[in-house]
Chains A and B, each alone.
Chain A
Amino acid sequence: MRILVLSKSVPDLVEELALDEDSGELLHDDMTYVPSEWDDHALEEALLLKDEVGAEVTVLAVDTGDVDNMLFTALAKGADHAVKLTGDFDLATSNRKRAQAIANYLRDNPFDLVLSGVQAIDDIDGQIPAMVAGLLEWPHASVVTEVSIQGDQIHFRQEYGGGLQAELAAQTPLVLGIQAARKPPRYASVAKVRQMMKSSTVDEVDASADAVPELEIRRFFKPVAAGHAEMIEGEPDEVADRIITILKERKLVRG
């Protein structure tokens, strides 16, 4: 079983997003990028399959300029190969264009199973796994957990609202958007990542960039919140006193 894991980095939401409020443009170079958390789950699920049944795991990223560390980290965690699609890409490259490059790569390099995070926080023009599958006209499913290999089929769960789930079976090749791995994503130490940087390589594959339908984004802007919480200031004890008073006023606690 050959598994391809798609990964990308997204702005770190712990920091303020860099937005030029006059032009409505994102200032990509002024933001810190971190691996998308759902992709980490996709990699973990792939590595669990490898541990169980011996799959060969390749991790792939589109070269938007910042991906080496992410790829070496995946190798340090146990991925067998790392691939970087090079070409006319940068942090602002649309998901559609990235999906096209990945689909082109998959046409030339056969894989049985493609796993990726179900979504990323910057997926305004679409989620990459479903777009890759749509371009290749392969079967795919989103919001997936619990992937297993059963003979020549893949079994997995799909989550709907309200805790409802279904267990599905599909033939390969198949693309799955992973919601959560069965176990929390494993950790690779900085030392191990450094060692990988010395001992292994990232394959660079030139990815031709076809023209794709691009979504014309006029501007990004901060939402005007309908409201904001009334902030309770002070030390924990003072805050706790105030909260208890509020709850008593509303008869939510006795007193």
Chain B
Amino acid sequence: MGSILVVTEILGGNISDTSRELLSKARELSQTLGAEVVAVGFGSESAQALARIDADRAIAVTGQAVEQYLPLAYERSLLQVMEQESPQLTMIANTTMGLDLGAGVAATRGISLAAYCNGLAVEGDEIIAQSQVFAGKLLAEAVLPSEGAVVTILPGSFPASEVEGHPTVTTVDAVSAPGMSLIQVLEPEKGDVDITRADILVSVGRGIQDPENLTLADELADAIGGVVSCSRPVVDAGWLPKARQVGKSGQTVKPKLYLALGISGAPEHLQGMKDADLIIAANTDESASIMDVAHYGTTVDILDLMPALTERLRGE
């Protein structure tokens, strides 16, 4: 019987939500394909965490080398598991870990990879992967080869599995990889404000164009009783601190109002804000992806819109 290998992430002793999303899809595929679901996890807490998930078997990779996430040791250890299992399909979340491991193990093993996958279906005896490309502007449909392929899956693509199972858990030793070591874990920088707690976010993107224009956003935030947040390029340019960044590599926010000003809506940004109660987007490009998640949109220039809003809020 073939197998579907699900690479899980275990955070604080628990399987991550994204891993549960992978498990639910793996279970669905396994029923059509008549395959086994095999989960793999890393670290001393993994055996316990894996013991209750909905998988047929689970492999806990343990040892000093994988106690902390280290790309090299995780990759070498996963390769060893894949060598043993020869899975028909390997599913990895498109997190930092997935960006590290997915393409790496596919290349080493000489098998195909479909990245940024947000849909998987069985057609006849083929697995079809749907992937998001060009910052979400297009989707691609790929036929996965039957001799094993890797898919890296975008978080939020499938419902999370809530089924409790009783897989048999085997423990294997991690492959040590002295070529890479952890110096220290750096906790998130605590900024002057916590954007995850704000009810109203005035969020600016590259459309702000110049750091001097941030005054307009500050004034608007002040007038509306909100906080200024931003997309990644604004942080990379050094215009706002990291603690203000919304998205995959920043904060996940769910405010009552998210004003997206000059933000295109790349998948990595949407991941951090798409569940806001009300999203109003201003972007000169009506076809920008942000418009697909926003409730209201406008194509006026944000440099005109921000002062117009501020003026009204101040009752001028």
Interface on A for B, CB 8 Å cutoff? 11, 13-14, 16-17, 19, 24, 41, 96, 99, 118-119, 121-127, 129-135, 137, 139-143, 155, 157-171, 177, 179-181, 183-184, 213-223, 225-237, 239-241, 243-244, 246-247, 250, 252-253
Contacts and interface: CB of A to CB of B under 8 A. Distances in A.
A212 to B, nearest CB: 8
B172 interface: no
Contacts of A226: 292
Contact of B138 (A17, A213, A229): A17
Given A130-B99, A231-B286, A244-B309, A124 B116 contact: yes
Contact of A163 (B238, B250, B264, B281): B250
B141 A218 contact: yes
Contacts, number: 271
B163 interface: no
The B contact surface, by secondary structure, is mixed
Interface of B: 68-72, 95-96, 99-100, 102-108, 110-116, 128, 131-145, 177, 179-189, 199-200, 224-225, 232, 236-238, 242-243, 245, 248-252, 256-257, 264, 278-281, 285-287, 291-301, 304-305, 308-309, 311-313
A134 to B, nearest CB: 3
A183 B145 CA distance: 42
A159 B71 contact: no
A229 B278 CA distance: 11
B140 A237 contact: no
A167 B312 contact: no
Contacts of B280: 243, 246
A213 B69 CA distance: 29
Contact of A232 (B186, B232, B296): B296
Given A126-B103, A127-B99, A240 B242 contact: no
A240 B305 contact: yes
B90 to A, nearest CB: 13
A129 B188 CA distance: 26
Nearest to A250: B278
Nearest to A163: B188
A118 B115 CA distance: 13
B105 A141 contact: no
Contacts of A171: 179-180
Contacts of A218: 128, 141-143
